Amino acid sequence: MQMNTRPTIAGIPQEMTVQTDQITAHGSVEGPRLYIPVKIDFTPNRTGNANPKEFFTVLSVSAELSVTEKYFVASQATMQVSWPIFMHNPIPVTFQFPLTAETLFQIEKYRQGDLAAQLKITIQVAITEDVLTGKPNNETRPVIHGFETPQAHQYFQIAHSLWVNKILLGLGYNAGALVEIPAVSILLPKEYAIAKDELREATRHFIAGQYDTAVAHCRSAIDPINAQFTNIRKNLTSKSEFQWLKKHFSTTYDYIEAILGSNYTLANKGHHPPSFGNFGRAEAETIIGTTTLLIAYFGKIIPDTIPAEEPIAQGGTV
């Protein structure tokens, strides 16, 4: 287990606490930022003395954020300040860590439940002492007689529930690549709507680390489409959407039909015992991606047999 360390200023250990339950995220996908509050209990050399001879001034506070069990560096933050510390003074500090889409991807790739994290905090201080000026009334003036740059390491965990339900939402994280999902499918309207709902559930469980459940929802997403796709092949007339598709996209159709069957069979494992431990993150990610592309494909198959005046709903993004 990793042990926390404390910074020492002028020979006095300074206490600090990462307030994990108050960690937030803002900025969404355009500019994701992670906000981590830390309380630092600054204590000068002469605790309790109303007129200490020696004190210090905090000039800057910086932090390096490392995450997951690999503790790779995710971001850095620095604040330039001027905090004279004469007596014990607890000061709240909130570090704002800018993140990138690539960093978020790596975090989710290696995160196991709760998010392990570490802050390497560096504090720059000026050690100051009141010295006599030689003037009447024992007048003194502050004189800097040294600088110190102490460091500390704070290890902590961000709870799985907080990370998944609040922080990832604030960061605008999307579990996979953005794929345009049309709002409706004229080819399979009812089945397509069910498939989209199941796909959303699959993505939600994937982010939560419930990979078997995510794969099971992929099977449920494909199930209604799979059944109707077979019926289309068998029953529709020569002027149907299927025949149009078969005629103009024969190779594409054969490829999609093969993937559809394989994806359905693989995802079906999540519905039979053992229902857990069948899939890891990589497998679930691949199956969700394939399912998403299939559903998007069926939503976009709008053949030329549909009258031009019939409106086509605008697409959204999942």
Q: What is the pLDDT of residues 93-139, one digit of tens each?
A: 999 999 998 899 899 888 888 999 999 999 999 998 877 777 777 77
For residue 266, name the pLDDT band (cuts at 50, 70, 90): low
3-state DSSP of 165-212: HHHHHHHCCCCCCCCEECCCCCCCHHHHHHHHHHHHHHHHHHHCCCHH
For residue 307, name the pLDDT band (cuts at 50, 70, 90): very low
Residue of 122, 159, 120 lying closest to 23 (CA atoms): 159
Query: In the chain, which residues fall in CATH 2.60.40?
Result: 8-171
Strands (E), the chain: 8-9, 12-13, 15-18, 24-26, 33-42, 54-67, 72-85, 89-98, 115-132, 140-148, 151-158, 180-181, 316-317
Q: What is the pTM of this model?
A: 0.65
Q: Tell me the per-residue pLDDT of 159-190, one tens digit each, with 9 for 90 and over.
A: 998 998 899 989 988 655 556 677 777 667 88
Comparing 45 with 110, the larger pLDDT belongs to 110
Task: Output the CATH code of domain 180-317.
Answer: 1.20.120
Return the CATH architecture of domain 8-171: Sandwich (2.60)
Cα–Cα dist 318/314, whole Å: 13
Q: How much is the pLDDT for 91?
A: 95
Tell me which range, 45-59, 116-130, 259-273, is most confidently predicted by mean pLDDT.
116-130
Q: Indicate if the pLDDT at residue 46 is higher than 60.
A: no
DSSP annotation of 157 = E
Average pLDDT over residues 259-280: 62
Average pLDDT over residues 230-244: 55
For residue 86, name the pLDDT band (cuts at 50, 70, 90): confident
Cα–Cα dist 147/144, whole Å: 8
For residue 239, name the pLDDT band (cuts at 50, 70, 90): very low
Cα–Cα dist 128/271, whole Å: 69
Q: Indicate if the pLDDT at residue 39 is higher than 90.
A: yes
Q: Indicate if the pLDDT at residue 234 is higher than 70.
A: no
Q: How much is the pLDDT for 158?
A: 96
For residue 4, name the pLDDT band (cuts at 50, 70, 90): very high
Query: In the chain, which residues fall in CATH 1.20.120?
Result: 180-317
Q: Indicate if the pLDDT at residue 276 is higher than 70.
A: no
DSSP annotation of 11 = T
